[in-house]
Structure 1
């Protein structure tokens, strides 16, 4: 069995073909899609976070709204760029959203990825400490977030408070028990996957990673996952690790599918440069008739290694069509691959 979720980048634009013309359209349709996805048996609703773009950026109001409208679907992010975050404020927001959802948040965080603007985190008031990088800052903020999620008191109480305090040092409120164990790290390299395992975070691996060998993307990603699992075991954590991979997968079942995604068939991995002199590999998309899709996906080693598959969706095409895309995978592909 494999958990299957969707991952939305939450685009909007005044494009005549888009169902999401405004930010309000995207937010409200995201809620509707999560509700509909739960009804058809999808396991997770995940959302990307991008700043300075016409895309979803502040996840917690959306996650809380979805939590209030649903009852069983996992609700998460993939990923929150920690370079932009105040970790303590984020603890409060995340805990509140998790309590509203009844403990269903699965938060993906990361040190960050290429941005819309140069050093966007500087506009949010953050600077790396001298001698460190923005990546170091993102990881340190991630660790502080984890620490404060534990619920241990750390703040000295006022001897003359407005309201009575409990004894001892004070923690952030509200506290959501168990959320610390539902934090994922978006790793773009083998080394950061190992680091995530050592910190006791689950692993999110997308369709982009550092190109660390000449092997195909899915094999490099599978190797990354195995290294992560080995590091988790070596660290001695008492709970089971989880691993998600994301993929663009489209079952071509009608003429509309072929019109939108027929040109994705026979796509291959791509290698390119991101940031400064960093070589990266981009995983291929999958688009084919269901029987062909089943044969192709059966050979994807990374999907086999993961317990969770996040299907990237074209949110601009509207709720009904995205439900169709997800339903086609559940009905025509997942059973023959043993995912259902």
Structure 2
């Protein structure tokens, strides 16, 4: 399975965490050939052929109990891979994106039994700037995880505090694109800013880009439907000549997808951060979307608008409005629902 001793293990789950982790690995001149990457989503990984091993999530995630069945092989392979790595006893650094996934929990335990190992939390998006804890996840997950860990060969640890893992005592660093509003101990934060991009084509003020998110999965349907309808009514009132749509790479946008105005879909297989330099839209609009922040940091000339923070914070995040701190700091305009 492995032809070399592994010194670095990275457990990542989206384009932002991949960008940050790779930037940190390169900054530290880490040997990719002695690095294993486990991807908890199907995310493009630059230079994937240079790593010792890359294990990739097999398909789009599921939010149901039965839907987890098709991922058992992936988790079994991950458990066997980590068993071999643990037996080598050569790991120097670990990167994780949360503390509630079975793989991440196992890696935290590995670090706790090897104090010389550096344990890093990598920011994945807006959730790192919100008060996300066990109450924000379905209850069945906390019943199922200990059982699945035993069956698959993982060491299970109940998540402590924020589900990013930033407040785990064992964590050494929290790697982020911004420190403003970040839920993490200040002395552990290590900022790796997104570099500003040079544009390769002019933007069109009459064109907007809608960045779809999975917000519908965190809100009851009876709450999300009027939110989606009012969002589209507001969008239509802006009078854009052309509407582009970038779908979320892993989940649907629910009812919102059914009522979108005539549009063109772009960016299949690419992240908005990767597309930043060549975007045609002068305005980017989303609802609880990390890319609004990262794009504004990469392209300050873009107008980035978050729609309905006052509503979705109330109905999807139990009234926690802390994400607005990051949005404001990055220069994202907040268009309230009410």
TM over 0.5: no
TM-score by length of 1: 0.31
Higher RCO, Cα 8 Å, sep 6+:
1
- What TM-score results when the alignment is normalised by the length of structure 2? 0.31
